[in-house]
């Protein structure tokens, strides 16, 4: 299962909040994918502290694609998050 959130239209900190909310409901073995309007720098250490693995792809427009899963499910992370 791969959920996709397009959060590019939201101002900070809404994208980070939506990602964290979605992760609360993420089932084991699943990966959350999100498109954000900016590189989610403050989110990354939070994810690590909470036991998540992630992959980030900076986009040319200043936004980013991020894929997140539970640390024990890191094998489900794509080599690169899917294209928008």
Please report, for the chain, the start and end positions of each structural domain, with discontinuous segments joined by +: 2-76
Rounded to whole angstroms, the Cα distance separating 77 from 51 reads 14
Strand pairing report for 52-58 and 64-70: antiparallel
pLDDT tens sequence for the chain (84 residues): 567 999 999 999 999 999 999 999 999 999 999 999 999 999 999 999 999 999 999 998 899 999 999 999 999 888 765 555
pTM, to two decimals:
0.88
pLDDT of residue 6: 97
What's the length of the chain?
84
pLDDT of residue 2: 64
CATH class of 2-76: alpha beta
The full DSSP string for the chain is -EEEEE-TTSPTTHHHHHHHHHHHTPPTT-EEEEEESS--TTHHHHHHHTTEEEEEEE-TTS-EEEEEEEGGGGGGS-SSPPP-
């Amino acid at each position: 299962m791969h959920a996709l959130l397009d959060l590019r239209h939201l101002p900070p900190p809404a994208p980070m909040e939506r990602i964290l909310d979605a992760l609360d409901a993420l089932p084991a073995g699943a990966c959350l994918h999100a498109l954000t309007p900016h590189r989610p720098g403050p989110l990354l250490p939070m994810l690590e502290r909470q036991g998540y693995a992630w992959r980030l792809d900076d986009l040319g427009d200043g936004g980013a694609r991020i894929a997140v899963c539970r640390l024990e499910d890191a094998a489900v992370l794509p080599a690169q998050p899917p294209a928008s």
